[in-house]
Amino acid sequence: MINPKAKLSKKIFSKEIDMIPTRNGYGEGLVIAGEKNENVVVLCADLTDSTRSNYFKEKFPDRFIEIGVAEQLLATVAAGMANYGKIPFISSYAAFSPGRNWEQIRTTIAINDVPVKIGGAHAGISVGPDGATHQQLEDIAIMRAMPNIIVVAPADSVETKKATIEAAENGKPTYIRFAREETPVFTTEDTPFKIGRAETLWESKDPQVAIMGCGPLVYEALMAAKRLERVKIGCIVINGHTVDPIDEQTIIRAAKLAGAVVTVEEHQINGGFGSAVAEVLSRNYPVPMEYVGMPNSFGESGTPDELLEKYGMKSKHIVSAVKRVLKRKA
Amino acid sequence: MEFEELRKKANLIRKDLIKMLLEAGSGHSAGPLGMADIFTALYFDILNHDPKNPAWEERDRLFLSNGHIVPIRYVTMAHAGYFPKAKLKTLRKLGSDLQGHPERVRMPALETTSGPLGSGLAQASGYAYAARMDNKRFRVFCICSDGEHDAGNHWEAVLFAAKNRLSNLTVFVDRNNIQIDGHTEDIMPLEPLEDKYKAFNWHTLHINGHNMEEIIDAVNHARAVYEKPTVIIAHTIPGKGVDFMENMPEWHGKPPDTAQAKEALHELRTLGGKIVGEHE
């Protein structure tokens, strides 16, 4: 059942649930962060509207810096500004930032330890018709491998807003990934959120499996838990929005209670959130695991729904993964 | 400091550089020697700074984009009083602040972290942009190599600084014509380099990078330029001051061995054989 402490939306399993892209939460968060601290600046690489950086630009035109189609410049100019004392958010598509400017992020932001915030829009396969070049599915892997940078993949627009506001205040290099498509808004302003702490959203009395996810697919995990409840399979559902540093305690607790884990992410299975969970569990409490995510493949053009279906990242695929992992339980 | 004193200081700095590279056993020789005069001019004349208070808010900022020549910065900073000269022996050694390539986190007075080429000008430009937002009066200087003009990130920053009319930014290009694989004009021709900057709407100057008067005059000239960033193309001789290193690309990335260091030091002590060495 839904964990009442998670204060999730009352409309969570209703058809009336609000559908808003996570990128809108980024744009709203930028404005609030900008109101709270005049040192917040936003830099964008010629994608101002689609990254929702325009919300900030309209409010604070003097603190918005257009960089042009140059993601390496985006990262390095921001590194200089952060070194001075500003709090720069850099906005582009995740395919280009951190896709194209990874070394600049490593050297001038992470080793340099300056608080640049990287906003990676259009992450995941759900970018849709743009095709493989624009569907960033490796960013969690390349960013979580890098020391000294926080990696957050919020689950809905409200959470993305909270992550953006908190990132402005944490004093650290931070990567926030978000998506293009409208996805269910299932958390609320009252849902607990803190970077670095995973939230338990669903917990059955006798859980047989823990489903852990990050990003908008956490909603699919909750849908799967609801379907599994009907066939008397108890679940724990964890929202692991912060991939690095990962919340080991919450993950280990859930694995101990459930004895099996399925991870869910709109990212390559190789090196992603599931790998991060596996690294925690293999050292602390090994249990059978299955992974829902991109199966070591690039994407293609199609509608988001068709792509999530084809590459196996919907609630029914999570249910299948649960059934597979349960068979492996001793 | 008078020009003659600056020249003597640069010579002392070159000597300590050779000793330091010998001690480290790895590192770059040619670039640091070629930039000894410019670093001396910066730390002993041009920069508004306080070695006893490196975090001084109003200090001029010096960004080193081609981080591999940082040994010359370390030696010059030691001479300027940032830290004891004894520390120079720790270059590239475990636990030292004097990393093989500069790291701001370990030594904040280095202003930034660099090494991978082509990214320093963009950082300096971002810094200059942010400082101007707050009406800060200090200047931002950036030293770049000519070889790193191969990198796209550098030219992106050239566009950015011109677009934003960053007149608080002054750039030295160490035009020594060499890079690791050979001569710049063979690897990826850069000429006409000054015309390229002009076409990108920069104010340009070119100088002999070993002439103290020209170095200092150029910066004074740049201070008077409004609405444009200034690039000073400094023609330098890689390995300057050590005959067998001058203009030889193979000295880009290696330190001298003991015999070579002895020869180099002899040459520096005798100012190229013009005076009798005191200790030989």
What pLDDT digit, counting tens, does each position of A57-102 carry? 999 999 999 999 999 999 999 999 999 999 999 999 999 999 999 9
The rounded distance, in Å, linking the Cα atoms of A196 and A104 is 25
Region for residue B44 given its phi and psi (left: phi exceeds 0; alpha: psi -120 to 50; beta: otherwise): alpha
pLDDT at B126: 98
Asked if B144 contacts B121 with a C-beta cutoff of 8 angstroms, the reply is yes
Domain that holds residue B10: 3-269
In a domain, B9, yes or no: yes
Give the closest-approach CA distance of A160 to chain B in angstroms. 27
Q: Which CATH number fits domain A19-184: 1.10.10.10, 3.40.50.970, 3.50.30.40, 3.30.70.20?
A: 3.40.50.970
Q: Would you call A62 and B156 a contact, using CB atoms and an 8 Å cutoff?
A: no
Domain boundaries, chain A: 4-11+194-328, 19-184
For residue B37, what pLDDT band results from cuts at 50, 70 and 90?
very high
pLDDT at B279: 42
Contact list in A for residue B102 (CB cut-off 8 A) is none
Query: What phi, psi does B216 have (nearest 5°)?
Result: -70, -40
Contact list in A for residue B160 (CB cut-off 8 A) is 67-68, 70, 73, 77
Q: Report ipTM (2 d.p.).
A: 0.95
User: Helix, strand, or coil here: B135?
Assistant: coil
pLDDT at B269: 66
Average pLDDT over residues B266-275: 61
Residue B257's closest CA among B15, B55, B26, B12? B26
Asked if A301 contacts A129 with a C-beta cutoff of 8 angstroms, the reply is yes
For residue B98, what pLDDT band results from cuts at 50, 70 and 90?
very high
Give the Cβ contact number of residue A179 at 10 Å.
29
Asked if A158 contacts A25 with a C-beta cutoff of 8 angstroms, the reply is yes
The rounded distance, in Å, linking the Cα atoms of B15 and B71 is 12
The rounded distance, in Å, linking the Cα atoms of B74 and B87 is 9
Q: Could you tell me which chain A residue has the CA closest to the CA of B63?
A: A80
In a domain, B274, yes or no: no
Q: Which residue has the higher pLDDT, A300 or B263?
A: A300
The rounded distance, in Å, linking the Cα atoms of B141 and B128 is 9
Q: Would the pLDDT of B280 be above 70? A: no
Q: Which residues of A are catalytic?
A: 71
Over residues B206-251, the pLDDT tens digits come to 999 999 999 999 999 999 999 999 999 999 998 888 888 887 777 7
pLDDT at A188: 98
Q: Same CATH topology for A4-11+194-328 and A19-184?
A: yes
Region for residue A14 given its phi and psi (left: phi exceeds 0; alpha: psi -120 to 50; beta: otherwise): beta
What is the residue whose two structure tokens read 């409840």?
A: A229
Give the closest-approach CA distance of B162 to chain A in angstroms. 12
Q: Which CATH number fits domain A4-11+194-328: 3.30.1380.10, 3.90.1150.10, 3.40.50.300, 3.40.50.920?
A: 3.40.50.920
Helices then strands (H, E): number in chain B? 10, 7
In a domain, B20, yes or no: yes
Give the closest-approach CA distance of B133 to chain A in angstroms. 9
The rounded distance, in Å, linking the Cα atoms of A76 and A93 is 16
pLDDT at B46: 98
Name the helix (H) or strand (E) containing A119.
strand A117-121
Question: What is the DSSP pairing of strand B178-179 with strand B182-183?
Answer: antiparallel
User: Helix, strand, or coil here: B1?
Assistant: coil
The rounded distance, in Å, linking the Cα atoms of B267 and B259 is 12
Q: Would you call B160 and A79 a contact, using CB atoms and an 8 Å cutoff?
A: no
In a domain, B278, yes or no: no
Whole-prediction pTM: 0.94
Return per-residue pLDDT of chain A as tens, 330 residues.
Answer: 999 999 999 999 999 999 999 999 999 999 999 999 999 999 999 999 999 999 999 999 999 999 999 999 999 999 999 999 999 999 999 999 999 999 999 999 999 999 999 999 999 999 999 999 999 999 999 999 999 999 999 999 999 999 999 999 999 999 999 999 999 999 999 999 999 999 999 999 999 999 999 999 999 999 999 999 999 999 999 999 999 999 999 999 999 999 999 999 999 999 999 999 999 999 999 999 999 999 999 999 999 999 999 999 999 999 999 999 999 987
Long-range contacts of range B85-92, CB-CB < 8 Å, 24 or more positions apart? B85/B16, B88/B16, B88/B19, B88/B20, B88/B23, B89/B20, B89/B23, B91/B20, B91/B21, B91/B23, B91/B24, B91/B27, B92/B24, B92/B25, B92/B26, B92/B27
Query: How is residue B82 annotated by DSSP?
Result: S
The rounded distance, in Å, linking the Cα atoms of B102 and A127 is 40
Q: Could you give the number of structural domains in chain B?
A: 1
